[in-house]
């Protein structure tokens, strides 16, 4: 070994690993990961097609939502004379009641009056819950797929570049996700401020009552003591309630993606701080040409610097060439 003064650590027997290395070279140089006493290859756990999986589409929930709105509006418009409460425009009231039923707000300002309308309202309420459940299932599936892709992408990324560079890339992505969360929070604040202003101007509510009504609507509580009672106010509610519900759902989705990204960071941190395996120790012995199955302190330091991206093969080659030139000049000087 070139550095005789370094502390030496004897390696375990690599006879089994030699056979494994031959198999790896025949299998397109698969990267190995050590798990206890079992060694598996990256291609066994990281299929190439995993990173190309498309997240589930929200097309079906959107279609169901559109059908629900049309059917609900037709039903409530047809039975408008069997409803009681404060009414304004028949069509606006029908759309408004459909939106309120779907969003589970249920102000109670317009309610069914006959047995038939109560039955229809119950069916529409259950149908609305089914659509919300479908949206939640699709959202959950979306997050699961994103987490799976994140896991395999992290492992693949750490194979293609060093873990430090991978960490920088993931941190940049998480910063973008954080900005999306901040923007989503800002949009929700704007929507709530607009709702408060409209309730105060169109429904003639005090600021406290307007804020109270906005919060109970966004959280779908809908106590019913404060609601939209004018035609213009209900027309605004038809647009505002779905927008705030969608914005809130999107904000929660962004927060969930950010949490997944943070898990990704922790995963790479574990990769960077992982303990050396026999495979890693074997790789260290190839730092120098005189391969003797012994790892010195210098070998360990050089290997860790390479793993964390502090240096690369070119840096090592340049340093070794400089050292060889220095030795050559010293030898020539002695000979002269």
Q: What is the mean pLDDT of residues 31-44?
A: 39
CB 211 within 8 A of CB 249: no
pLDDT of residue 28: 41
Q: What is the predicted pLDDT for the residue at 79?
A: 92
Question: For residue 205, which of 223, 187, 228, 239 has the smallest C-alpha distance?
Answer: 228
- With a cut of 80, say whether residue 8 has pLDDT above it: no
Categorize the per-residue pLDDT at 101 as very low, low, confident or very high, splitting at 50, 70 and 90. Answer: very high
So what's the architecture of 52-272 in CATH?
Answer: Orthogonal Bundle (1.10)
The pair of three-digit structure tokens given for residue 225, joined into one six-digit string? 């003591």
24 vs 44: CA distance, rounded Å = 12
**HSE toward the beta carbon, residue 234, CA cutoff 13 A:** 21
Residue 43: per-residue pLDDT: 42
Tokens 């960071």 sit on residue:
265
Q: Over 50: is that where the pLDDT of 38 sits? A: no
Q: How far apart are CA 297 and CA 291, in angstroms?
A: 15
């Amino acid at each position: 070994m070139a550095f005789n003064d370094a502390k030496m650590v004897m390696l375990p027997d690599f006879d089994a690993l030699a056979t494994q290395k031959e198999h790896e070279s025949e299998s397109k140089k698969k990267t190995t990961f050590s798990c206890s006493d079992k060694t598996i290859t990256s291609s066994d756990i990281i299929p190439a097609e995993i990173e190309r999986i498309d997240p589930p589409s929200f097309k079906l929930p959107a279609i169901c939502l559109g059908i629900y709105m049309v059917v609900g509006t037709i039903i409530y418009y047809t039975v408008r004379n069997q409803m009681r409460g404060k009414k304004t425009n028949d069509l606006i009231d029908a759309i408004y009641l459909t939106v309120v039923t779907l969003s589970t707000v249920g102000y109670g300002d317009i309610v069914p009056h006959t047995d038939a309308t109560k039955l229809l309202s119950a069916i529409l309420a259950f149908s609305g819950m089914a659509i919300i459940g479908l949206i939640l299932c699709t959202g959950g599936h979306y997050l699961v797929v994103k987490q799976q892709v994140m896991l395999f992408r992290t492992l693949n990324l750490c194979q293609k570049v060093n873990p430090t560079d991978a960490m920088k890339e993931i941190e940049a992505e998480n910063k973008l996700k954080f900005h999306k969360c901040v923007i989503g929070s800002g949009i929700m604040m704007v929507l709530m401020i607009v709702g408060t202003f409209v309730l105060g101007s169109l429904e003639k509510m005090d600021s406290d009552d307007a804020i109270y009504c906005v919060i109970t609507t966004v959280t779908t509580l809908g106590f019913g003591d404060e609601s939209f009672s004018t035609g213009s106010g209900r027309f605004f509610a038809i647009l505002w309630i779905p927008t705030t519900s969608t914005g809130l759902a999107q904000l929660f989705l962004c927060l969930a993606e950010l949490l997944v990204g943070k898990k990704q960071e922790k995963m790479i941190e574990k990769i960077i701080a992982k303990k050396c395996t026999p495979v890693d120790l074997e790789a260290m012995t190839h730092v120098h040409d005189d391969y003797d199955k012994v790892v010195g302190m210098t070998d360990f330091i050089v290997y860790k610097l390479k793993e964390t991206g502090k240096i690369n093969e070119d840096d090592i080659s340049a340093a070794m060439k400089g050292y060889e030139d220095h030795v050559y000049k010293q030898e020539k000087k002695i000979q002269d």
